[in-house]
């Protein structure tokens, strides 16, 4: 038996349509409010950094800031050579990426290409648990476990001297242990994002490689990895940004001794470690030494911004599209 349904323009549908429009308007307004809050927060942070940085450079020459080789803003003889903090930051981040890149990339290849689906479902969450460990825990792990372990290894190597090779002495605070633990910290970023990029490569490319007689290793190294290159590079750049902006690990393990150079066996001070030092409250607010944290923060912001812009460009330039 046929049933007559009300037409779209009938009076029975009007209340529902009006209520639906009101709900959609409310939902859109809430989402727009959240977006505005996010944008306003970002703009507020950037404007604060710009305002305080301009005030800092009103008292300090930007030439001295970029070229001076000493950083002593808290001393009687104040020097503001940011290159000292940048070198320490790049040193710890470089060690970290040397550790994280092979560990993360090989883990991603294993999970995507060699592990069974059941094993992948178990191993990937376990690997990502490392990302949930607080950074202060990593810092104490580096200070109380990794550094003594490295000192013991160095002392053991010293018992087997090689002609012309002297085993360096590792100090209690050093960039090496901080960089190694920092690399372990960012390994989940490289592994998880790279695994997603590798896993998204179409199976047809693998099948075509196998049909041409390629082995599993040749398929992974010559077909799959080049196809997922943009995603892998993005994960590496994101990990580097994370390493540059890390605070507690380098503060606890690397020390707070500002020195210029790339010696990983001695204490160094990164940009984030200096911000922590000034933010402890011993420096009077509004003083020139206090304003340095905004100049350092702006430098750190610009470094990460450049990395992100390079990541966006690289992804657009080398991204592979598959139909």
Closest Cα to residue 268, out of 289, 250, 288, 295? 250
Whether 200 maps to a domain, the answer reads: yes
Write out pLDDT tens, residues 156-186: 877 776 655 677 788 888 999 999 999 999 9
Whether 9 maps to a domain, the answer reads: no
In the numeric block, the tokens 């210029």 are attached to 260
Whether 55 maps to a domain, the answer reads: no
Pairwise CA distance, residues 243 & 89, whole Å: 9
Write out pLDDT tens, residues 27-52: 899 999 999 999 999 899 899 889 88
Residue 257 lies in domain: 62-318
Residues 6+ apart with CB under 8 A from 13: 6, 7
pTM here?
0.84
CATH number at residue 190: 1.10.3720.10
Whether 49 maps to a domain, the answer reads: no
Average pLDDT, the chain: 85
pLDDT at residue 135, as a whole number? 87
Domain count, the chain: 1
Whether 247 maps to a domain, the answer reads: yes
Write out pLDDT tens, residues 62-99: 888 888 888 888 777 888 889 999 999 999 999 999 99
**Phi-psi domain of 284 (left: phi exceeds 0; alpha: psi -120 through 50; beta: other):** beta
pLDDT at residue 118, as a whole number? 84
pLDDT at residue 159, as a whole number? 77
Whether 178 maps to a domain, the answer reads: yes
């Amino acid at each position: 038996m046929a049933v007559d349904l009300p037409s779209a323009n009938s009076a029975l549908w009007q209340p529902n349509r009006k209520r639906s429009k009101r709900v959609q308007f409310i939902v859109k307004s809430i989402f727009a409010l959240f977006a505005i809050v996010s944008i306003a927060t970002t703009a507020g942070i950037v404007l604060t950094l710009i305002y305080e940085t301009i005030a800092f450079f009103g008292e300090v020459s930007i030439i001295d800031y970029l070229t001076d080789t000493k950083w002593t803003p808290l001393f009687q003889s104040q020097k503001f050579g940011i290159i000292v903090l940048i070198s320490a930051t790049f040193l710890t981040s470089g060690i970290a990426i040397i550790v994280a890149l092979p560990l993360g990339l090989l883990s991603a290849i294993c999970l995507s290409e060699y592990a069974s689906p059941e094993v992948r479902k178990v191993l990937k969450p376990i690997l990502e648990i490392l990302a949930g460990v607080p950074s202060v825990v990593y810092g104490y792990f580096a200070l109380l476990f990794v550094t003594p372990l490295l000192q013991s290894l160095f002392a053991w190597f010293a018992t087997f001297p090689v002609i012309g090779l002297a085993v360096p002495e590792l100090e209690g605070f050093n960039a090496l242990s901080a960089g190694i633990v920092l690399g372990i910290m960012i390994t989940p970023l490289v592994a998880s994002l790279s695994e997603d990029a590798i896993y998204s490569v179409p199976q047809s490319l693998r099948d075509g490689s196998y049909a041409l007689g390629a082995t599993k290793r040749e398929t992974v190294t010559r077909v799959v990895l080049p196809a997922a290159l943009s995603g892998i590079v993005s994960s590496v750049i994101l990990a580097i940004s994370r390493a540059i902006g890390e605070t507690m690990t380098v503060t606890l393990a690397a020390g707070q001794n500002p020195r210029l150079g790339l010696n990983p066996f001695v204490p160094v001070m990164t940009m984030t470690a200096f911000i922590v030092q000034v933010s402890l409250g011993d420096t009077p607010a509004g003083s020139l030494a206090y304003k340095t944290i905004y100049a350092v923060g702006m430098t750190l912001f610009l470094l990460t911004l450049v990395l992100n812009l390079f990541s966006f460009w690289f992804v657009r330039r080398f991204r592979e599209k598959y139909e």
